[in-house]
Amino acid sequence: MPKPSEFRNIRQKIVAVITVLSVLVSALIGLSLRTRLPFFLAAGISVAIAAVIGYLLSKTLFDSIIEDAAALRKKVDENYSEIMTEKDKLETILKQMADGMIAIDRAGRIMHANDAARVMLRISDSDAKHKRYDDIILRFSDSLTLDEILRNLEAGVTEGEFSYGGAVYEVRYDKFKDVAGGDDGIIIILQDVTERQRIDNMQIDFVANVSHELKTPLTSIKGYTETLLESGAADAEMTKEFLAIINSETDRMNRLVKDLLQLSRLDTKQQKWYKEEADIATLVKTAVKKIEMVAKSQNQHINLIFNSDLSILLDMDRDRIEQVILNVLSNAIKYTREQGRIDVDVFRDGDGVRVVVMDNGIGIPEKELPRVFERFFRVDKARSSRMGGTGLGLAISKQIIEEHKGSIEIESTFGKGTKVTITLPLPPVRGKRGIL
């Protein structure tokens, strides 16, 4: 906006012209009286001279006024443009914010709600314009009404939290002022912290599970070691048995530590990958041969149901993909009864290849299926621990497959069996032969 001093400058110029003309007319009238010229003649001369001088002065003055007005107009346009630019910037920032933002006045009317806030609070544009804040927030929480927020602010509390539909939202709020410095309303910021809380809970569970998994074998090792120290070598058979248990528990801890270290490398993106072209069908057959003796010891049958001549080349880290397949086969053996059947298939499917392992084992309860890739989750804890499982295999497998831009899915019917499907992308076509 133009400054007050600029308006005063124009007003002073106009006053100056009027003053000069007044003095000139007074001087000419006085001259006519001294020279005894007829009044009308003196007045005519005065008016004529005043008109000429007034014209010259006014032209100069109004040229200056026009210049000043143009300068004022330019400044007004610039200020308006700056205001509109800042307004657009603010609207863009509010629109792109991942956090929700609501501004309400002292009466609880919504002055503004950005897109994120409308999504979080499940409100339409019409709701934001016509509904009061309390009418909306009471669907989610009765501790974040306007009166409650004002009471909290008086007590120095500026944040809260509410949950809805499985999501958790953190709320921060504070007063904002008007031009005179008085309270004009409340600004409320909503942040979806569901994922953060999930990760925090996972970390807490992870530490608890690791402690438990390490405590069990350590307790066992310490107990058998103390017994051996107390009894000495009096009973060779007992000593041999106890040492075998200690060795087994040590192996169990080694497997756990190894899996934990690999998970850490995967989580921190420090896992080294050695990807090269390899045949997935051959890799599956090799993995089956490595674990076949374990299945036979359980009187189980592993059947390769794909063509023995099948060959599908993929870009992959051979050792890591074999680790995944061995883990899936190992789980199928653990959770399939004696005389059970495990079928393994490999086939192309669109732009990818699928490796399917299907058993007729004990299956997984439907309510447990969403948790199978969680760390330390076991369908049958006793059976898994007895057979050397750490509860980390599927979590590791999932991350390995996802690093290969693939997916791993599990379908199961409790009491009837489980089907695991690994999907990996085929390499891009590098060109066609025979093109001139």
Q: What is the pLDDT of residues 330-387, one digit of tens each?
A: 999 988 988 999 999 999 998 999 999 999 999 998 888 888 898 887 776 555 555 5
- Kindly indicate the confidence band of residue 7, based on its pLDDT and cuts at 50, 70 and 90: low
Which pLDDT does position 71 carry in this prediction?
Answer: 74
Whether pLDDT at 434 is above 50: no
Which pLDDT does position 281 carry in this prediction?
Answer: 96
Collapse the DSSP code of 110 into the 3-class scheme (helix H, G, I; strand E, B; otherwise coil) and give the result: strand
Collapse the DSSP code of 159 into the 3-class scheme (helix H, G, I; strand E, B; otherwise coil) and give the result: strand
pTM reported for the whole predicted model = 0.59
Structure-block tokens of residue 192: 């979806």
Q: Write the class of the CATH domain 275-425.
A: alpha beta
Least confident of 3-7, 215-219, 318-322: 3-7
Which pLDDT does position 57 carry in this prediction?
Answer: 58
Cross-strand bridge partners of residue 421: 356, 409
Exposure letters 367-390 (e unless 16+ CB within 10 A, then b): eebeebbbbbbbbeeeebbeeebb
Higher pLDDT, 261 or 325: 325
Domain layout of the chain by residue ranges = 4-94, 97-192, 197-267, 275-425
Classify domain 97-192 by CATH number. Answer: 3.30.450.20
Structure-block tokens of residue 123: 């409100």
132-150 average pLDDT score: 89
**CA-only gyration radius of the chain, Å:** 43
77-84 average pLDDT score: 72
List, edge to edge, every strand of the sheet that includes 159-164.
110-113, 100-105, 183-192, 167-177, 159-164
Higher pLDDT, 88 or 408: 408
Which pLDDT does position 216 carry in this prediction?
Answer: 79
Which pLDDT does position 125 carry in this prediction?
Answer: 80
Amino acid sitting at position 147 = D
Dihedral Cα 356, 357, 363, 367, nearest 10 deg: -40
- Kindly indicate the confidence band of residue 129, based on its pLDDT and cuts at 50, 70 and 90: confident
Query: Mind listing the pLDDT tens digit for each residue in 306-330?
Result: 998 999 999 999 999 999 999 999 9
- Kindly indicate the confidence band of residue 67, based on its pLDDT and cuts at 50, 70 and 90: confident
Collapse the DSSP code of 347 into the 3-class scheme (helix H, G, I; strand E, B; otherwise coil) and give the result: strand
Higher pLDDT, 227 or 436: 227
Structure-block tokens of residue 270: 């420090």
Cross-strand bridge partners of residue 189: 101, 172
282-303 average pLDDT score: 93
Q: Write the class of the CATH domain 197-267.
A: mainly alpha
Structure-block tokens of residue 54: 């007034």
Collapse the DSSP code of 144 into the 3-class scheme (helix H, G, I; strand E, B; otherwise coil) and give the result: coil
Which pLDDT does position 432 carry in this prediction?
Answer: 47
- Kindly indicate the confidence band of residue 390, based on its pLDDT and cuts at 50, 70 and 90: confident
Cross-strand bridge partners of residue 101: 189
395-407 average pLDDT score: 94
